[in-house]
Amino acid sequence: EVLSRTSEVDIEGGWKIGAPVPYAALTKTFSLIEATTKRLEKTSLLTSFFLLVIRRSAKGDTHSLLQAVYLCIKKLSPDYVGVELGIGESLLVKAISESTGRSLAVVKADLKKEGDLGLNSKASQKTLFRPKSLTVPLVFTSLKEIALSSGHSSQTKKVSIITKLLAACQGGEAKYIIRSLEGKLRIGNAERTVLVALAHAAAFAENEESGKKLNKDKLTSRLEEAASIVKSVFSELPSYDLVIPALLTDGISNLRSTCKLTPGVPLKPMLAKPTKAIGEVLDRFENKRFTCEYKYDGERAQVHKLDDGVVGIFSRNSEDMSRKYPDLVEQLSHCVKQETKSFVLDAEAVAIDKTTEKLMPFQELSKRKRKDVKVEDIQVRVCLFAFDLLYLNGESLLQKPLVERRDLLRQHFQVVPGEFGFAKSSDGETTEEIQAFLEESVKDGCEGLMVKMLESDESHYEPSRRSVNWLKLKKDYLAGVGDSLDLVVVGGYYGKGKRTNVYGAFLLACFDADSEEHQTICKIGTGFSEEMLQMHWDTLRALEMDKPRGDIKVGGAKPDVWFEPKIVWEVLAADLSLSPIYTAAQGLVEERGISLRFPRFIRVRDDKSADDATGPEQIAEMYERQALAHRKGKHDKGGD
Ligand code: ATP
């Protein structure tokens, strides 16, 4: 299918070997991907396009594929470099108005009607000379220039670059230029699809070069193997800048040895599965050695020390937080023993009381400025609790069992009270021991426990995976649905009575990364103090829209105002139910969507963006688990 589709994504004339990739070929591929809902078809279209890029790139050119991949994932650099695409709506409206000759009011009205700035954005052909056709490198560098320009005259500069781009657009190109600038392609193309397509295209290209003819079974297994290698390598070294050149130059089979965990490049952290009861933990770890650790209520911090002594601190989403935590960078030198040259630590940064050194809740930590913090101005003190060591003195430890990684951690670092500690742990085995440790953790100001496999292959560190070898057991879970959810605020309801000057309730949504769609899930009005409602009013008012944005799947929800989907809240609920109104996870468990019953606001998650919100698969999984627990409960009662 891939080979036959290459002619579909190809454009007529104009794409010679060694020439820059025509932007028209990329947007043609986008249109075809947008037109289908089938995941496999999306993957094969993208594979065909990448394969054409590889075939037509000059020898040794790895840049063309790299830039094409970046444009497909709406990024311009690895996450930790932080060059972000996405400019404000008002600036875009201005640029569109200037290049299309339509008034600001008309562009805005169109946006409200369509919920999509990309439509109707073709520039009017005012110029005498037709500008040259757009190419992928030109679009990529222009977008980068826009993202990097800051200061005084940057607005004018950005508008002028956008206007130039739009003037050169042909056919459907303008739509995708605008959408790229918004940071939303809306073609239903998740990053994992891009990774698979990249692996498949490289496998096809290698095969073509070797001149061998593989039968269907062999080819299928080659493709599967390539995808699994590329995905696992990328979770260890999430940098296309490094992975793509290695993939094209050294080949798929060498990728695991050429691209490895490297200090300075944050890897995607391992995540935990929620559990609702201690019994569930024991079921999972029966006859295995496991450890329970305090689940600290702070912010995840991946700490890297490079050979040259530079220290980097990265967030759960691989953002560079070194400028947020200059105190941690300083403190780190006290807890590292002499012989430790380079390392990668997995840890939690937790606010502590300055005098008593007691743990403080996450809310305290969130009072800190996010950037350019000066050590002398710091009010909220932070202690780092390390729970894993992933790299040490030039060697990756990911494949070692946790018990060994933990020993190495304790050998090479030392406790400095109030600055650095090891996550408190207990290798208990019975329900009573776990219960006692859980209560102790909560008394000490933690959220509960993380229960981890300690020995064997199952205790390896699994980058980017939400693994059953790490279970989280939060005190709150025991009575509720299990895990909390991180949801995007997409609508507001005006308050009544005492709350007339603020929003009294909100419409929340989950985020489906495959369709790039926010799916409504519940109305929430509980868990807010008056002070908080005022704060939410102040933040959300600026995001008000009269109509739902095009990527919100509304269903039957009818809030008084809509918000641009941007703010993420952590929410707990009593349980989940099927709903004729809301659209979350529609079609996954049943035709109907899933909704939260008795949702309660916990906190703002400003470390997560709208794209990191809980996904429909997780919600469907929670619903299924709840249904199963229900059936089991009934069955157990029957047995009595
Ligand atoms: P998730 O990361 O699972 O999507 P989340 O960011 O809301 O969700 P939680 O579900 O609360 O996080 O649990 C995982 C987080 O707990 C880790 O990302 C880490 O920040 C924190 N944490 C605190 N203590 C530990 C520990 N001992 N081991 C691992 N993680 C810990």
**Pick from 269, 274, 333, 323: which is nearest to 301 by CA?**
269
Residue 637 clears pLDDT 50, i.e. is over it: no
> What is the rounded CA–CA span in Å between residue 162 and residue 121?
11
d(CA 407, CA 493): 53
Q: What are phi and psi of 501, to 5 degrees?
A: -90, 5
Quickly tell me which residue has 């990053």 as its tokens.
191
State the Cα–Cα distance between residues 451 and 473, nearest whole angstrom. Answer: 7
Give the list of residues 6+ apart from residue 532 with CB closer than 8 angstroms, or none: 601
HEC states along 199-243? Answer: HHHHHHHHHHHHCCCCCHHHHHHHHHHHHHHHHHHHHHCCCHHHH
Residue for token digits 């609508």?
491
406 lines ligand 1 (CB under 6 A): no
* Whole-number average pLDDT of the chain: 90
Per-residue CA distances from 328 to 81, 301, 339, 553 (Å): 20, 10, 20, 42
Kindly report the backbone phi and psi dihedral angles of residue 568, in degrees, each rounded to the nearest multiple of 5, phi listed first: -115, 135
Q: What is the ipTM of this complex?
A: 0.96
Ramachandran region, residue 377 (left: φ > 0; alpha: ψ -120 to 50; beta: rest): alpha
Using DSSP bridges, classify how beta strands 425-426 and 544-545 pair: parallel, antiparallel or unpaired: unpaired
| Whether residue 468 has its Cβ less than 6 Å from ligand 1 | no
Mutation test of ligand 1: which of 292, 300, 453 has the most ligand atoms closer than 8 Å to its C-beta? 300
**What's the pLDDT tens digit per position in 22-57?**
999 999 999 999 998 888 899 999 999 999 999 999
Evaluate if residue 639 carries a pLDDT over 50. Answer: no
pLDDT greater than 80 at residue 302: yes
Q: State in Å: Cα 272 to ligand 1 middle.
A: 7
* 414-471: pLDDT as tens digits: 999 999 999 999 987 788 888 889 989 999 999 999 999 999 999 999 999 999 999 9
Average the pLDDT over 303-308 and give the result.
96
Q: Averaged over 537-542, what is the pLDDT?
A: 93
Segment 275-304 shows an average pLDDT of: 91
Q: CA 302 to CA 154: how far, in whole Å?
A: 33
Closest residue by Cα to residue 609 from 319, 177, 350, 348: 319
Element (H, E) at 568: strand 568-572
Testing ligand 1's pocket by substitution, the residue of 267, 268, 270, 271 carrying the most ligand atoms inside 8 A of its CB is: 271
Q: Is the pLDDT of residue 127 over 60?
A: no
Give me the torsion for CA of 503, 508, 514, 517, rounded to 10°: -40
Contacts of residue 245, Cβ cutoff 8 Å, sequence gap at least 6: 62, 66
The CA distances from residue 43 to 19, 32, 65, 350, 387, in Å, are 25, 11, 16, 41, 38
E-strand stretches of 9-108: none
- What digits encode the pLDDT tens for the residues 329-374? 999 999 998 788 999 999 999 999 988 989 999 989 988 887 778 8
Q: Which atom of ligand 1 is nearest to the CA of 274?
A: 10
CA 95–ligand 1 middle distance (angstroms)? 42
Task: Count CB atoms within 10 A of the CB of residue 48.
Answer: 26
DSSP 244-305: HHHHHHH-GGGHHHHS---TTSPPPPPEEEE-S-HHHHHHHHTTS-EEEEEE-SSEEEEEEE
- Ligand 1 atom with the smallest distance to the CA of 272 is 3
For residue 220, the model assigns a pLDDT of 92
Is residue 115's pLDDT more than 90?
A: no
Chain center to CA of 251? 28
Residues in the chain, how many? 640
Residue 516 in tokens: 């790039």
CA of 114 to the centre of ligand 1 (A): 39
- Which pair of tokens denotes residue 432? 């009573």
Angle, vertex CA 494, rays to CA 493 and CA 495, nearest 5:
115
d(CA 164, CA 142) in angstroms, rounded, equals 10
With H, G, I as helix, E, B as strand and everything else as coil, classify residue 149. coil
* Residue whose entry in the numeric block shows the structure tokens 């019994």: 279
Query: For residues 343 and 395, is the Cβ–Cβ distance under 8 A?
Result: no
Q: Is 300 in the pocket of ligand 1 (CB under 6 A)?
A: yes
More confident: 483 or 258: 258
Atom of ligand 1 nearest to the CA of 474: 11
Q: Is the minimum distance from the CB of 607 to ligand 1 under 6 angstroms?
A: no
Cβ of 272 below 6 Å from ligand 1:
yes
Question: CA-to-CA distance for 380 and 390, rounded, in angstroms?
Answer: 28
Evaluate: CB of 387 within 6 angstroms of ligand 1: yes
Ligand 1 lined by 348 (C-beta under 6 Å): yes
Q: Output the pLDDT for position 459.
A: 97
Does the structure show a pLDDT above 70 at 246?
yes
Residue-wise pLDDT for 392-407, tens only, equals 999 999 999 999 999 9
Mutate to test the pocket of ligand 1, among 303, 440, 472 (most ligand atoms within 8 A of CB): 472
pLDDT in tens, 140-149: 999 999 999 9
Task: Give me the pLDDT at residue 329, please.
Answer: 94
Percent of the chain with pLDDT over 90: 62
Count of other CB atoms within 10 angstroms of residue 85: 20
User: Mean of the pLDDT values across residues 587-607?
Assistant: 91
Query: Quick check: helix, strand or coil at residue 489?
Result: strand
Q: What is the pLDDT of residue 540?
A: 95
- Please report where in the chains the tokens 């490297």 appear, as a residue: 262
Which residue numbers are catalytic? 295
Q: Are 189 and 46 in contact (CB under 8 A)?
A: yes
Nearest Cα neighbor of 350 from 384, 315, 314 is 384
How far does residue 622's CA lie from ligand 1's centre (Å)? 18
Give burial (CB, 10 Å; 0-12/13-18/19+) of 392: buried
Question: What is the pLDDT averaged over residues 75-85?
Answer: 89
Selection from 473, 383, 384 nearest residue 426 by Cα: 473
Quick one: what percent of the chain has pLDDT higher than 70? Answer: 94
Q: Kindly give the distance from the C-alpha atom of residue 451 to the centroid of ligand 1, in angstroms, as a whole number.
A: 11
Q: Taking a C-beta distance cutoff of 8 angstroms, is the pair 540, 583 a contact?
A: no
Cα 100 from Cα 310, distance rounded (Å): 49
For ligand 1, atom 31, the nearest C-alpha belongs to: 295
